[in-house]
Structure 1
Amino acid sequence: MNMHQNEEHHLSQSAYAIIKAHYAASAKADIEGMMRDVAADVRWTEMQGFPCAGTWIGPQQVIDNVFKVLAKDWINYRFELEQLIDAGDTVIGIGNYLAQHRQSGKALNARVAHVWKVEKQKIIAFEQFTDTLLVAKAMID
């Protein structure tokens, strides 16, 4: 596939395919792959009550305030995708967060839903919904 064909293929990717690729990269802990289709001005919202709570703007803020924090505080922090729902420009990922908290040693297993918005083949918004009480309980000695 030459560069031009590859560009055309990429331009025709559905929102569903873009999010599926994000989760595939996430499963391999490939941050570069995870951020490949994230817009420069993405609005990435971690739920109030979650350790990384807030709305982060742009890929670097997401890496610094979400992924690096989770990697520092948790052992083998991961999202296990159970279902991916295609709703056009909106895609919903449902699954579980699994990890072990470094300080408390406690295991985490919490249900989660991610709501993604894609525009012009770029992820423009992400919002997380999870059981923040289960996350908090795993963090307490």
Structure 2
Amino acid sequence: MTSERDDFVNSDLEVIKAHYAASDRGDLPGMLAPLAADVAWTEMAGFPYAGTYIGPESVRDNVFGRLAAEWDDYTATVAEVIGLGGGVVIGIGAYSGTFRATGNAMSARFVHVWRLAAGRVHQFEQFTDTALVQTAMRP
């Protein structure tokens, strides 16, 4: 028998797993689907797209659009998705890709912290080795 808490954790996990599955398919609408209208999406300081973007359109334009335009074969490969309860989900994995302007490839581990309420992502925060990404962008 599952508790109400377990149901929420499982639901939150499924929402984030669906986002990562959409990313694997290159399905941008599917990636944006769980984002709340006021989502606060934070890319880590030192990352090339650093900042906090509010709303799905801002995330699309300032993060996913730039990644698609500037990188070849950019992927976020997720190794583990962990539900902590209280609407918090952690994704652990690695980014990889080749920066078009330099032809340099990179691979950098990441941790994503997702905060959800009622099945919608309200906050996202990225942690990664920004130096590895920056090195690939330098000639």
Q: 2:29 maps to which residue?
A: 32
State the identity %. Answer: 50
User: What is the number of equivalent residue pairs in this alignment?
Assistant: 131
Q: 2:107 maps to which residue?
A: 109
Counterpart mapping for 1:42-57 below 5 A: 42-57=39-54
Please report the TM-score for the alignment, with normalisation by the length of structure 1. 0.90
Instruction: Report the RMSD for the aligned CA atoms in angstroms.
Output: 1.4
Q: 2:127 maps to which residue?
A: 129
Is 1:81–2:89 an aligned residue pair? no
Q: 1:6 maps to which residue?
A: none
Please report the TM-score for the alignment, with normalisation by the length of structure 2. 0.91
Structure 2 segments unaligned to the other structure (5+ residues): 1-7
Moved over 2 A (4+): none
Give 1:86 shift. 1.0
Counterpart mapping for 1:92-103 below 5 A: 92-103=90-101
1:73-125 superposed Cα distances (whole Å, 9 cap, x missing partner):
11011100011111121000000001001011011100000000010110000
* In structure 1, C-alpha distance between the alignment counterparts of 2:75 and 2:56, rounded to whole Å: 19
Structure 1 segments unaligned to the other structure (5+ residues): 1-10
* In structure 1, C-alpha distance between the alignment counterparts of 2:119 and 2:92, rounded to whole Å: 21
